Amino acid sequence: MNATTATTRTTEIVLPGVVEPAGLQVQVRDLPAPGRGQVVLRMDATGVSFAEQQMRRGKYYDQPAFPFVPGYDVVGTVVAAGPGVDRDLRGHRFAVVTKVGGWASHLIVEAADLVPVPDGVDAAAAETVVVNGVTAWQMMYRTAKVKRGDTIVVLGANGGVGSTLVQLARHAGIKVIGTASARHHDAVRELGAIPVDYRDPNMYDRIRELAPEGVDAVFDHVGGPALHDSWRLIRRGGALVNYGSAATKDEAGNAMLPVLKLFGQLMVWNLLPNGKRAGFYNFWAGKRFRIAAFRARLRDDLTQVLQLVKAGVLTPQIAARIPLSDAASALALAESRTVLGKVVIVPEP
């Protein structure tokens, strides 16, 4: 049957509105044939990131109107190709960042967004480092620009981004202080970081004891009032990199307000004549106006991260593998703050 006219049945997880995880819905429908430059991807692994947790609350910046299918990134196999696409892509595994739409058994994506997954790398393993790996890589090397011999702080060192950051930094010869709950300290230590209990009311004092001269970078996904404490840890020449606002995810009101406050605070700090930098990491920066450059940068960075997985330098932290039909349990588990690594959603057995 011609790949451009074949009908593909897909099962999708729908977020109907601001609901608890149990409120997710399952729908089955026929996908249209892929258009020019598009492919149909059979999902081999997707996952739960902090973005979906915010979207469930209607708190993620620039999320689509309800209802929609969440799913920020996917690893899958090409099963059909539209006009203008190399048919040899079929049967090969790729990673793709979707922002939404990934929680589906099959989905249509742009062929230009596909990044090859190296042979021998498990789909779930690759999934853990798609958005998380690119985020960690770009924050380290493109934003903070840390180098061998530096000292950094990673908040949430047991999380998907955090655990990847720790491993990348240690591979690069960087000292890491990582915050996590006490139950994860052994695992964080095994990854190569010095663990500090984030529940300790004197957490920042403890970090200062470990780095009395300050640190070269803090990677903070929490935001909120404690962001000031992260800023105070930075020494001259260092950088505060914020990439989220977990502290405000349960606050009622406009989703943009915490973001605007955050941007305002970071801008003020950047104006201070103390040689320190503060910035917000935006995964999608540059896509709207320079799509080709954005895709090239993403492809280059993700390719390097996936090669590190293949080489055994990065050990993907898979918290659980949960079937697509039970995505509600996957989301609830990710939100429980009890896991090490990323909750991965996989096809039905």
Question: Which residues, in sequence order, are CB contacts of 202 under 8 Å at separation 6+?
Answer: none
pLDDT value of residue 308: 98
Contact between 162 and 135 (Cβ < 8 Å)? no
What is the distance between the alpha carbons of residues 297 and 258, in angstroms, rounded to a whole number?
A: 29
pLDDT value of residue 250: 63
pLDDT value of residue 253: 63
Q: What is the DSSP letter of 32?
A: P
**Residue 285 backbone phi and psi in degrees, to 5:** -55, 130
Name the nearest CA neighbour of 68 among 35, 111, 106, 100.
100
Which structure tokens are listed for 90? 């079929």
pLDDT value of residue 128: 96
What is the distance between the alpha carbons of residues 228 and 272, in angstroms, rounded to a whole number?
A: 14
What is the distance between the alpha carbons of residues 42 and 91, in angstroms, rounded to a whole number?
A: 10
Q: What is the DSSP letter of 15?
A: B
Residue 151 is which amino acid?
Answer: T
Name the nearest CA neighbour of 13 among 349, 338, 323.
323
Q: What is the DSSP letter of 91?
A: T
pLDDT value of residue 252: 63
Instruction: Please state the pTM of the whole predicted model.
Output: 0.92
Domain ranges for the chain, please list them.
Answer: 9-122+316-346, 130-280
Instruction: Give Dmax (Cα) for the chain.
Output: 67
What is the radius of gyration, based on Cα positions, of the chain?
20
pLDDT digits (tens, 9 = 90+) for 75-130: 999 999 999 999 999 999 999 999 999 999 999 999 999 999 999 999 999 999 99
What is the distance between the alpha carbons of residues 146 and 166, in angstroms, rounded to a whole number?
A: 13
Q: What is the DSSP letter of 289?
A: T
Domain 130-280 class in CATH: alpha beta
What is the distance between the alpha carbons of residues 18 and 57, in angstroms, rounded to a whole number?
A: 5
Contact between 100 and 67 (Cβ < 8 Å)? no
Sign of the torsion angle spanned by Cα atoms 69, 75, 76, 80: positive
pLDDT value of residue 2: 40
What is the distance between the alpha carbons of residues 150 and 216, in angstroms, rounded to a whole number?
A: 6
Which structure tokens are listed for 74? 């996917």
pLDDT digits (tens, 9 = 90+) for 10-39: 999 999 999 999 999 999 999 999 999 999
pLDDT value of residue 337: 84
Contact between 220 and 161 (Cβ < 8 Å)? no
Q: What is the 3-state secondary structure (H, E, C) of 101-118?
A: CCCECEEEEEHHHCEECC
For residue 220, with 0-12 CB atoms within 10 Å meaning exposed, 13-18 middle and 19 or more buried, which class applies?
buried
pLDDT value of residue 3: 42
pLDDT value of residue 271: 87
Helices 291-310 and 131-138 sit at what angle, rounded to 10 degrees?
A: 100
The low-confidence residues of the chain, meaning pLDDT below 50, are: 1-5
Question: Which residues, in sequence order, are CB contacts of 197 under 8 Å at separation 6+?
Answer: 179, 180, 181, 182, 185, 203, 206
Per the CATH hierarchy, to which homologous superfamily does domain 9-122+316-346 belong? Medium-chain alcohol dehydrogenases, catalytic domain (3.90.180.10)
pLDDT value of residue 249: 64
What is the distance between the alpha carbons of residues 278 and 175, in angstroms, rounded to a whole number?
A: 20
